[in-house]
């Protein structure tokens, strides 16, 4: 046990590779390698917005989605309406509230 404390766990006793334990003699002298993806994420988002173009209007898109959602369930007969209401109450279908996401 004292020998293991002195050298750290080996990959054979932990089941981990030397690169994931950080405690084995094999990793002595290595410099940690980290990658900050913040810049890449900002670049990706800027590319998406640029691809959407200057004519993209998010408010108009959301308004159109609301109109389509209202139209989707507008012509239900009474039995279909009861079924729809039951599914909304159970969280299977989204309700009329903001976000319109079904319950998890």
Residue 23, number of CB atoms within 10 A of its CB:
17
Query: Does residue 27 contact residue 19 with C-beta atoms inside 8 Å?
Result: yes
- Give the pLDDT score at 11: 46
- Give the pLDDT score at 33: 77
- Give 35-59 as a 3 state SS string: CCCHHHHHHHHHHHHHHHCCCCCHH
pLDDT tens for 42-59 read 999 999 999 999 998 989
Distance CA(70)–CA(92), nearest Å, equals: 17
Decide if pLDDT at 81 tops 50: yes
Could you tell me which residue, 34 or 81, shows the higher pLDDT? 81
């Amino acid at each position: 046990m004292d020998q293991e404390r002195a050298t750290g766990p080996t990959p054979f006793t932990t089941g981990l590779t030397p690169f994931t334990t950080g405690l084995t003699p094999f990793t002595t002298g290595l410099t940690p390698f980290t990658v900050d993806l913040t810049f890449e994420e900002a670049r990706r988002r800027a590319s998406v917005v640029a691809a959407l173009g200057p004519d993209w209007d998010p408010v108009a898109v959301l308004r159109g989605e609301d109109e389509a959602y209202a139209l989707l369930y507008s012509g239900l007969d009474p039995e279909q309406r009861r079924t729809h209401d039951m599914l909304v109450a159970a969280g299977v279908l989204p309700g009329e509230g903001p976000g319109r996401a079904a319950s998890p």
